[in-house]
Structure 1
Amino acid sequence: MTEPHINDGTDDSVGGGPAADPRGWALPRAVSVSDLGPLAEPISEHNGQAIAVKPLTNHPGWLAKLYRPDQHPEDAGRLDLLISAPGTLPEADRALLYAGTCWPAARIHEPGNPAVGCVIPMAPEQYRCELRRGGFSDRRFVEIDWLAKSDESIRGVGLPPPGFAGRLSACRQLTELAAILESLGLVYSDWSFSNAFWSPDQRSVYLIDVDGCQPKKMPDIHQPNWADPLTPPGTDADEYTDRYRLGLLVAKCMTGRRDAHAFHTVAASPWQNQPAVSEVLLDMLLATDRERRPSAAQLNQALNSGPYLRTTPRPTRTALPPLPPQPIPQSPGGADKPVKEPEPTPPKAPQPGPHTGWILVLVIAVILLFVIASNH
């Protein structure tokens, strides 16, 4: 991949002028804040690298993602690289990337700051649903987190349960997007529950925060429950980190299970008659050599009923993680009550036997006779 031309905002020469973007708005790939017109109230604030995400009043369906002022000086060149990247893809991959991600359309600049932020599309309305909880309903974007729950839990909030077919369809698209990023040499790192939306009706996914992608490697920000055991703390995330986290996300979404249960469900044989999927996921999650983790394209091929063709010898695997302890059953009253250990019984004092009283009378009589005899 060639080095990007860094546009300082004075021209539209990056990638040959205005972006060939099919998403409904042809705009230069670098725009000033004033070019965007008025900005509405933020829909999100102080989330990750962004201080705010604001809708563009004059351009419905588009957002200005505004970065913190302490961004790296090379961010302008990196954003230009991302904005131009779809033009290097085959048409089908480019269409999928635009349809399945909030890919940045333009870099926002102002005097003295070449990377104020970027222009991104809002997620399509199909990813927003009514969720019912406790007698209340809330229309919101549905995070892919819900796919990592049982069909019963999903039905319980008013969403149509995906079943195995729905989970498979969503994960196929997810891995196809991951394979495109990998083909571009980009590291995403943010594979987790909060960075993708899921449409139960369309059985599709939509990836967000992709403007943070970086070529080859990027700082590995700690994410609870998503830490790669073979990426030591303090080192950068790379394509192999991405493969682990992608495999973990797919395992949880495919099985509807979390924690170690997802590992054990995938390892169960036969698992939904998907032996190739099981093998790819287990190599992604348990390989002792991180560079032997299968690629996103290999996982996508297995999810599409293709074979698992290893390009290297089969990696050795670590053991499955232990399952968490079973929860303590609740008492009939509902709340768990602590089990009280029986207190030790104190030793009992010796009880008098049935003849003890007569013996005492005889002893006293003997003593009295002895005293009388002594006086005579």
Structure 2
Amino acid sequence: MRAVNGEEDRQGCSGADEHGRSAETLLPIRVEAAGVLVDLHFGPGLELLSREIAHLWRHLIVPARSGEPALRRSYRQGPAGAGAGDVPVPEGPEGSYVVSGDVTRQLIDHLAGSSLLLHAGAVDVDRIGVVLLLGPSGAGKSTATARLGRRGRYLTDELTVLDPRAFTVSGYPKPISLMAPLGAGPKRDLPLPEAGLEPALRAEAPAHVVLVDRIRPNADRAAGEEGLFRVPLALALPAVVEQTSALWRVPGGLATLARLVDRCGGLLVARYHEAEVLPDLLADPPPAVAEHWERVVPPAACRPPGLGEFAVTPFRDALLLDDLALILSDGRLLSVSSVAALVWQLLAVGGPMGFAEIRSSAVEALGHHPRADVILEGALRELVRVEAAESGGGVTWVDELRASSAGPA
């Protein structure tokens, strides 16, 4: 096994643990994952797991002279809670899956804010290009990535790392994680050759962003037909944001995501019974679509609302699409529409305003309406309810809302 020192066989010193069992001091395994050097340390009793990891990750192992590692992880046998700082690993075939999951989480923490991070598979396929495959857990992402990856080069099945400017991909071709047949056990990691996959460490910007929507067995006709469909940006962005990590830490993160989707001609939804049809579907995608959107840049400093005024709550990035506002704050995405979207835009651009000023600006934008006061109050209520806006007090219904939210004294 190639270890951190470049030798073919793992070296160690023998001894005994507190139970009198033979123990081996294992050399760390150093891997380069998405351009990040990671040292993996295994404690006594994890000799077999260490060898398995060296086998599964061998295409990413680098020698010690490659530089100082950015991350160090230590694994041990035993229950959670013992051995502060070490990661407990259960006995059984799922041990390698626990290690790969831990490495993935550490990479997310390390790269958050400097890279665009998607919970997505990525493959580079000849005559199709780089394809990102997104979907919630259990949607069949890893299976789709494996099937499509056999037609090209495998970049990752779990964490896609993109440059937020050029959208080039830093490969993280970890062992592919698949469920046991018929759900007979936990996920386990497979060596790439066993899955028929060729790893790649980098790739050009994606040609397609695809949300996988596998049709379950015995689904009724309401589930729809197989095919590849474009999704409007107003629906696409919330679906993609759900599959990101720490997007709010990327400067202009929401606009960056919109540029990625635009560059690919819009988000695709792939509906299929079996993943084998994906190459044929992607070989003939529907026409690209382009939609207008406008970014709202967060102000450098916000004046808090005074008595009788309203203001937007702090946000990281926002987009306006037709009559919809998508607002990204720390850890969540808000969507407000119609008049509420317009009022939010007025407050975001113009700063805190009282009701009379909001009414004047809204009428200028939309024209007079006999029920303008009622409509605008409803819009402000919605913005305050979802915490997209706040009041400085002195507004009867806001004070009542605060009192009801606080509950009995």
Q: TM-score range by the shorter chain?
A: under 0.3
Q: Mark the structure with the bigger radius of gyration.
A: 1
TM-score, scaled to structure 2: 0.24
TM-score, scaled to structure 1: 0.26
More strand by share: 2
